[in-house]
Amino acid sequence: MPRGQASSVSTHERPRVDAAVVSDKDNGRHRRSAYLLLGLLIVFLHGSWSVYRMQFANLPLPLDAEQAGKRGFSEASALKHVKYLTGLGPHPVGSDSLDLAVQYVYAEAEKIKKAAHPDVDVQLELFHTDIGANRLAGGLFKGKTILYSDLKHVILRFVPKYLPEAEENLILVSSHIDTVFTTGGAGDCSSCVGVMLELARGVAQWAHGFKSGVLFLFNTGEEEGLVGAHSFITQHHWRNSVRFAVDLEAMGIGGKSTLFQGTHQWALESFAAVAKYPSAQIAIQDIFNSGATNSATDFQIYLEVAGLPGLDFAYTDMTSVYHTKNDKMEHLKPGSLQHNGENMLAFLLHAASSQKFMEDAHEAKQESIEQKKAIFFDILGKYMVVYPQRLATMFHNSIIFHSLLILGTSLLMGRCSVLVSLGISCLSIILTLIFSIFLSVVVAFAVPHICPFPISFVANPWLVIGLFGSPALLGAFIGQHIGFILLKKHIEQVYSRTKPGLTGNKMDHIVGLEAERWIFKSGFLQWLIVLILGTYFKVGASYIALIWLVSPAFAYGLMEATLSPLRSPKHLKVVTLVLALAVPVVSSAGLVIRLVDVMVGTIVRADRNPGGLPGWFGNVVVAVAIALVVSFMFFYLLSYVHISGAKRALLSVLCASFGLAIVLVSSGIVPAFTEDISRTVNVVHVVDTTRMNDGSTEPLSYVSLFSHTPGKLTQELMELRGEEFSCGRNMTIDFATFTMMYGCRSYKRSNIGWSKSEVPMLHVESDSATDDARRTIVSIDTKSSTRWSLAINKQEIDDFTIHVDSNKLVHLGGKSEVDGWHTIRFAGGKSSPTKFELTLFWSTNGTHASAKETKAEDFSPLVKLRTDVNRVTPMVETVLEKLPRWSTPFGKSTSPYTLAFLTALPINI
C-alpha cells in the first residue's frame, strides 16, 4: 500500500508549508466543479455498461449453410432443429412429445451418418436404459434418491476408421432433449441440441484425422434429477471409453455460452488457446458451487460419478424465463448459437487431434482435482486468462505480505497519529457499508407497500439503478463523509501541534486535502481485506479484489505519492482516478452487471416453499447486493466529492433518479411483469387422500394456486373473480418435495377430470418387531403415474430399501436427510413400473406413537406420497385461461404436474 503525501506527520520537526496550497485564491481555483464530478460519474457508469455490452452482448454474425460449408458451423442450420423441437411444445420425460423429439434427433443423426467422410466410422444408437438409482449425496441431492426407468438416449460416435485405439479414447459432448412440463425449451436445452447436431455434422467431415473419438450424447431425464447422464455413465457399454466430458446447458436463453465450470488447468488452457470468442467466468463457478443457485447440471454426474475431467458451458441471458412458457424461439438472440458452435467446433477439432490432450486426460484420473484447479476469466470476450490456483495463492499471499509490510512501516514512521488516522479510515469503510445497505434496504421494505407487486423490477431490471442504486450510493457517500469529517478533526488536532503557522482557511484546506487522501487510500485497505478473505477461503474470483487493490495503488504511487513528509498535500489528480479505475472496470464491471442481472432474473422463482418468504425478501436480496457493489466499486470515486462543489448536485441527481424510479413502478407506467417476463403462478388440481382411513371416505379435491415469486396473489385473483378462490396461510399443502405455505384454493368443479382408479395406494403388507428392530413392508401402487415423489420420516425410520419386481433398487445405508426427511423421486417413460415394495427399518430412538396416543387432528406422517399426472382438468384449464398474460407456471423436478394425488401413512400404522 503506497504512502501518500503527508501520510505520516513527524512530531520532531515542523515541515514548511508549500506556498502552492496556502492562498485562498488557489483554494478556489483547485476546487472541483460539480460538472466535472458528475461527468466522471457518467463516464464511470457508461464505461461499465460499454464493458458489459462488449463482454456479454457482442455476438458473432450468424452463418447460413452455404457460408459455413461442409466443415463449418451454421447457426441457420442449427436453428432449424431448435424450431422443430420447440414446436413440439413441452416434452418432459414420459410424454408423447418427447418420443417425437427423440425420433427427430435420431433421424437427423442418421442423415449426418450417411453424409460423413468415407474414412470416418460413425456409430449411431438409440439407447434404452434399465431401471436405476442416482444416489449423489452432496449439494442439491442431499437427502434425496432419484429413481428412473425407460429412458431413451440418442448416441452418435465418430472415430477414424484406421485408428482402432481411438475407440477407447472418447471425448463426450452432452446435453439433454427433455424439457420441464411448462415450456418448449428453446433455450433449455433445444438450443444445445441444435448446436450439437450441427457440431456433429461438422465433426463428421473432420474425424478421419482425429487421434481420439468424439461421442455425442443426446440424453433425456436431465430435468428430473440428472438421470439421463447418470444412466449413460453407469449403464452404457461405451462409458468406460470416455476420457473427457463437455456439457452444454442453459440457465436462461441465448446470449453467449459461458464456460462456468472447469476441472483442470490443461483443459481450460486448451479451450482458451482455440476459442474464437472466449467467454469464461470462474466467479459463476464460485456461486454455483456455493449452493446459492440451488441447481445442478449433468456435469456433476460426469465429475462425481465417473471422475471425468471436463468443461461445463451455459447460456445465462434472460434467466427470468428459465423453466417458464417464455423460453421460446423469439428470445434467442441472433449469433447466440454461432458463438457456442464456433467455440465448440474449434475446441473439439483441437482436442480430438491432439495426442497430448488425451494423455493429459488419462493422467487427470490419477491426480487430485484440487492440485490442478485454475483461475479463468475472459477480458471483454476477446481474451481468456488461465493460470493455476497455486500460482494465484502464491501471488495473492505476496501482495498481501507486501501490503501489510508497507502498512506496518507507515504506522511505525507515523506513530500514534497515523494509527488513529488508519483506525478512522477503517471506520469510514464500515460506515460506508452500513449506510449504503441501510438506505437501500429501507427502500426494499417500502416498495411492497407502495407498488402493485412486491417485486416490481423483474421485467425492467434497469429500474434497480434508481430504486436501490441511488439510495445505496447516497448512503455510501454519507457513511464515507462521516469518516471524512472525523479524519479532518483528528488531522486538524495533529496539525495544530505540528504546524502552528497554519490557521483559518489555510488550515481547513490543507486538512481537507490530507483527509481526502486518507479516504482514497482506505480503499486499498478495503480491497486488501477482501483479498485476504478470498485467498483464505480459496475463492476463484479473488483476482477481482487483487485488481481493485493493485491498480489504484499503482496509480496513486505513480501520480501522487512522495517519499518526503515535508511537503503539504495537494488535490488528488483526476488522472489518478482515471488510471486507478480503468483496469478494474475493464476486468470486472461487465461481470458484476451480469451477476446482478442474473440475480434479478432468479427472483421470480426464489420462493422454494411458496409463501415461505415474505414479500420484501427479493427486494432486500437485490438491494443488499447492489449496496455491496456500490460501496466497493464507487469507494475511490466518492473520495473526490468531499471537498468539491458537487455534494449538492450529487444529492439532487440521486434523489431525482430515485424519485423517477418510484413513480414509474408505483404508477404502473413501467409494468412489473410482461407477457415475455412473467411472474410464476402454478395451478394444480389436488386430490388429497392423506387423511383417508378407510375406503368409504371420499378424497378431498380442489384446485390450488401458488407462486414461487415472493408476494401474495392479489392481482391474479382480480382476474379470477367468480371462480370461488379463497387465499391464506391456513391452506398449507404438503407436496412431499416442498410445502406450500401460502396459496389459494377453489373447490369449484373439482370433482371432474380425474377418477378414483388413479388414486395411489400405500398398503402395509407386514409389520413385525423383534428385540433388535422393527420392520415394516409397504407396497406402493402409483397407478397410472410414472412420476412421483415419496418422503420418508427419518426421525422414525433409520433405513429403508426399495424393490421392483424382486430386484433391489435401493440398498441399505448412505441415506442423508434434510429437515428430518429423505425424499425419493421417480421419473420414467410410459413403460416404467408402477408397483414397488418399500421396506422400512425403524429407528430405536423413534417415537413409535400408537393410535391411542395420537389425536386425530395431530396427523403425523411416516411416509408421504405424491403422484403426478400431466393432464389439464376442466377447472385448471379455466383458471389457466383467465390468469393474466404476465403469469406463467414454473416447472422443476420437484414441482407437481397440473394434476397431483396426495396420500400418506401415519406414524401409528
**What Å distances lie between residue 812 and 769, 801, 803, 816, 840, CA to CA?**
18, 6, 12, 12, 10
Q: Which of 16-25, 226-235, 389-398, 773-782 has the lowest mean pLDDT?
A: 16-25
Residue 548 to residue 544: CA distance in whole angstroms: 6
Q: Which of 53-57, 83-87, 567-571, 867-871 has the lowest mean pLDDT?
A: 567-571
User: Quick one: how far is CA 113 from the chain centroid?
Assistant: 37
Per-residue pLDDT reduced to its tens digit, 639-651:
999 998 899 999 9
C-alpha cell at 21: 496550497
- 496 touches 635 (CB < 8 A): no
Give the residue among 240, 213, 392 at the shortest CA–CA distance from 305.
Answer: 240
**What Å distances lie between residue 479 and 382, 434, 438, 626, CA to CA?**
38, 7, 10, 16
Residue 509 to residue 655: CA distance in whole angstroms: 29
> Please, what's the largest Cα pairwise distance for the chain?
101
pLDDT at 18: 45
Residue 844 to residue 827: CA distance in whole angstroms: 33
Per-residue pLDDT reduced to its tens digit, 529-556:
999 999 999 999 999 999 999 999 999 9
Per-residue pLDDT reduced to its tens digit, 47-90:
999 999 999 999 999 999 999 999 999 999 999 999 999 999 99
Mean pLDDT (whole number) for 38-46: 94
pLDDT at 692: 67
Non-local (6+) Cβ contacts of 145 within 8 A are: 133, 134, 135, 810, 815, 822, 823, 824, 825
DSSP 520-553: HHHHHHHHHHHHHHHHHTT-TTHHHHHHHHHHHH
pLDDT at 854: 46
pLDDT at 434: 98
Q: How many CB atoms lie within 10 A of CB 784?
A: 14
C-alpha cell at 709: 415469486
Q: Which helix (H) or strand (E) holds 337?
A: helix 336-353
Mean pLDDT (whole number) for 127-137: 92
Per-residue pLDDT reduced to its tens digit, 758-789:
999 999 999 998 877 899 999 999 999 999 99
pLDDT at 21: 43
Mean pLDDT (whole number) for 467-473: 97
Q: In sequence order, which ranges of 720-779 are alpha helices (DSSP H)?
A: none
Q: In sequence order, which ranges of 88-181 are alpha helices (DSSP H)?
A: 96-114
The alpha carbon dihedral of 375, 601, 466, 469 has a sign of negative
Residue 189 to residue 228: CA distance in whole angstroms: 14
**pLDDT above 70 (res 3):** no
706 confidence band (pLDDT: 50, 70, 90): very high
C-alpha cell at 3: 504512502
pLDDT at 850: 45
pLDDT at 900: 98
Per-residue pLDDT reduced to its tens digit, 787-808:
999 999 999 999 999 999 888 8
Mean pLDDT (whole number) for 129-134: 95
**pLDDT above 90 (res 718):** yes
Q: Which of 30-44, 192-206, 221-235, 703-717 has the lowest mean pLDDT?
A: 30-44
**pLDDT above 70 (res 303):** yes
Residue 494 to residue 496: CA distance in whole angstroms: 5
The alpha carbon dihedral of 517, 519, 525, 530 has a sign of negative
Block residue for cell numbers 428385540 = 771
Residue 188 to residue 890: CA distance in whole angstroms: 13
pLDDT at 726: 95
Query: Whole-number mean pLDDT of the chain?
Result: 91
**pLDDT above 70 (res 368):** no
- 194 touches 152 (CB < 8 A): no
Q: Which fold has domain 75-372?
A: Aminopeptidase (3.40.630)
Length of the chain as a residue count: 909
Mean pLDDT (whole number) for 458-479: 96
**pLDDT above 50 (res 288):** yes
Please give the span between the terminal C-alpha atoms of the chain, in angstroms, as a whole number.
Answer: 70
Per-residue pLDDT reduced to its tens digit, 575-632:
999 999 999 999 999 999 999 999 999 999 999 999 999 999 999 999 999 999 999 9
3-state helix, strand, coil in the chain (%, to 5): 45, 20, 35
pLDDT at 106: 98
Residue 899 to residue 138: CA distance in whole angstroms: 31
Q: With left for phi above 0 and alpha for psi between -120 and 50, is residue 370 left, alpha or beta?
A: alpha
Residues of the chain with pLDDT > 70, as a percent, come to 93
318 confidence band (pLDDT: 50, 70, 90): very high
464 confidence band (pLDDT: 50, 70, 90): very high
Per-residue pLDDT reduced to its tens digit, 82-117:
999 999 999 999 999 999 999 999 999 999 999 999
**pLDDT above 70 (res 12):** no
C-alpha cell at 817: 436427510
Q: Environment class of residue 847 by beta-carbon count within 10 Å: exposed (0-12), middle (13-18) or buried (19+)?
A: middle
Non-local (6+) Cβ contacts of 556 within 8 A are: 2, 4, 520, 521, 524, 576, 580
Non-local (6+) Cβ contacts of 733 within 8 A are: 686, 688, 704, 706, 739, 740, 743, 902
User: Which three-class secondary structure state does DSSP give residue 863?
Assistant: strand
Mean pLDDT (whole number) for 410-426: 86
**What number of CA atoms fall less than 13 Å from residue 711's CA on the CB side?**
26
DSSP 855: -
Per-residue pLDDT reduced to its tens digit, 599-611:
999 999 999 999 9
848 confidence band (pLDDT: 50, 70, 90): low
Residue 633 to residue 904: CA distance in whole angstroms: 53
C-alpha cell at 210: 482425429
**What Å distances lie between residue 434 and 268, 472, 474, CA to CA?**
39, 10, 12
Domain ranges of the chain: 75-372, 391-561+571-667, 678-844+858-908
Non-local (6+) Cβ contacts of 130 within 8 A are: 149, 231, 235
Q: Which of 1-5, 51-55, 416-420, 439-443 has the lowest mean pLDDT?
A: 1-5
User: Which three-class secondary structure state does DSSP give residue 593?
Assistant: helix
